[in-house]
Amino acid sequence: MRTAWLLPATFVALCVLFLSGYAGAQKLPEGNSCIDCHRGLGDPRVTPPAEKLPEDIHLAKGILCHDCHGGDPTNFDPQGAMSRAKGFIGKPKHQAIPVLCGNCHSNAAYMKKFNPTLRVDQMQEYYTSVHGKLLRQGDQKVATCISCHSVHNIRAIKDQQAWTYPIRVVDTCGRCHGDPAYMKGYKVATDVVENYKKSVHYEALTKKGDLSAPTCNICHGNHGAAPPGLDSVANVCGTCHSLTEDLFNRSPHKKAFVSMGLAGCVTCHSNHDVERPSDSMVGTDDKAVCVNCHDPKSAGYQKAAEIRASLDDLREAVQRATAILDRAEHAGMEVSQAKFELHGASDDLLKARATVHLADPAAVEKLTSEGGQIANGTYTKGAKALEELAFRHRGLWISVGIILVTIVGLALKIKEIDRRRGEG
């Protein structure tokens, strides 16, 4: 058939149309010499920018190559298109990148045309950061805008594929900070990425999908990236863990840490590999953090032991109560009321664990004894439920016994009647 080619051609055309739409890619503008030439060249040195462009948010807003690089996109002659006279700057130098981006992104009047709520102080912040300072000193390896936001295919910050999307931030920073070879010569730890990935914050972000969990930029800042100072680490942690920070500040540790030059929070909990805390961190055995400073004869050692004992008591009481209530529930008894009340004891345990930061055994004991009473009360309810269960079982066996006696009587009667019928 002469028109047989129509079908596969249509299919291919539809695929192309569909797939290009599917990739979220946009249509590249026609008649733009930069895009047309660079795409057509097929040279790995100059073609990639044009190929990445369809995903870029700047393209979506109508900002094209010449808006950053200068030149004349209407001129298809290489000399004319890339002429200095037309403002062509070629590939910008490393040092020049923040200023280049800042030409627009620090211009409030300009940015208002696109998104009035966007901040315009990123460049200013950047130069306060360690990256910015090193860049001004001539460092060629340090991060600039494009190191974190990528270039030519910059995605909106809400886009899940963006390098700056919360879940991906650690890998973006990790491109340098997690590479010991790259970071040779800088005085920064290079195990931060692998440490952070062990942390409970990373788990919250990736496994629990809690996008409010902290990643690199939350504690270090985005553009003004710098490690928080010794005396300000606790403030940073305290933006979320405000209650704990407050307790810590009221404790004797605060003054002591300041005078010893120790950072709050981080000293016991670490900064990057923040693990899920457990009761074993408190106390006097070898897993506890208290013994790192307090020696066995000190008052602090004694207090640590008391606090740990309180926590252990309540935790065990809650466990016992939970176990017996579970047993009762499993056996079919209704114990939802008791289980609800047990929540109160678990809440007290949670609060007691937070109160550890006050380093005051009396405060902890107040909570644990209250919780203990609740737990013991619910334990009693669980025990009662099991007693009721035993009562039911006893009742059943008596019923079965009575029924059996009756059945035996019936059986004998049946035999007797059958016999009599035989005789009579």
**Which residues lie near another protein (CB under 8 A)?**
210, 212, 239-243, 332, 334, 336-337, 339-340, 343, 347, 350, 354, 392-393, 395-396, 398-400, 402-414, 416-418, 421, 424
Q: Which is nearer to another protein, 201 or 223 (CB)?
A: 201
DSSP string, 116-154: TTS-S-HHHHHTTSHHHHHHHTT-SSS--HHHHH-SSSP
Burial 104-130 (b: 16+ CB within 10 A, else e): ebbeeeebeeeeeeeebebbeebbebb
Q: Where are the alpha helices (DSSP H) in 189-251?
A: 192-196, 200-206, 216-220, 233-238, 242-249
- What tokens were used for 354? 């937070």
Comparison of 182 and 340: residue with beta carbon closer to another protein: 340
Name the amino acid, one letter, at 312. D
Q: How far is the CB of 392 from another protein (least distance, A)?
A: 5
Q: Which two tokens stand for residue 150?
A: 């990528």
> Residue 148 or residue 328: which is nearer to another protein going by CB?
328
Least CB distance to another protein at residue 278 (A): 17
Nearer to another protein, 27 or 421 (CB): 421
Side chain identity at residue 311, one-letter code? L
Q: Residue 100 or residue 335: which is nearer to another protein going by CB?
A: 335
As measured in angstroms, the least distance from the Cβ of 143 to another protein is 28
HSE (CB half, 13 Å, CA atoms) of 15? 6
Query: Residue 183 or residue 386: which is nearer to another protein going by CB?
Result: 386
Query: Could you give the count of Cα atoms lying within 13 Å of 380 in the half-sphere of its Cβ?
Result: 5
Give yes or no for a contact between 227 and 220, defined as CB atoms under 8 angstroms apart: yes
Nearest distance from C-beta of residue 192 to another protein, angstroms:
23
Shortest distance, CB of residue 402 to another protein, whole angstroms?
Answer: 5
Distances (CA, A) of 168 to 157, 198, 223: 11, 15, 16
For Cα atoms 147, 153, 159, give the angle at the middle one, nearest 5 degrees. 90
How far is the C-alpha of 312 from the C-alpha of 122, rounded, in Å? 49
Residue type, position 424, single letter? G
Nearer to another protein among residue 320 and residue 351 (C-beta):
351
**CB 399 to another protein: min, Å:** 5
Closest residue by Cα to residue 379 from 312, 311, 309, 328: 328
Residues whose CB falls within 8 Å of the CB of residue 187, separated by 6 or more in sequence, listed in order: none
**Looking at beta carbons only, is 231 or 416 nearer to another protein?**
416
Nearer to another protein, 210 or 285 (CB): 210
**Phi and psi dihedrals of 123, rounded to 5?**
-65, -40
Minimum Å gap between C-beta 52 and another protein is 33
Alpha helices in 24-162 (DSSP H): 33-41, 48-52, 57-60, 65-69, 78-81, 97-105, 108-112, 122-126, 130-136, 145-149
The nearer residue to another protein, 258 or 404, going by C-beta atoms, is 404
Shortest distance, position 230 Cβ to another protein, whole Å: 23
Q: How many CA atoms lie within 13 A of 97 on its CB side?
A: 22
- The CB-of-275 to another protein minimum distance in angstroms stands at 17
CB of 274 to another protein, least distance (A): 14
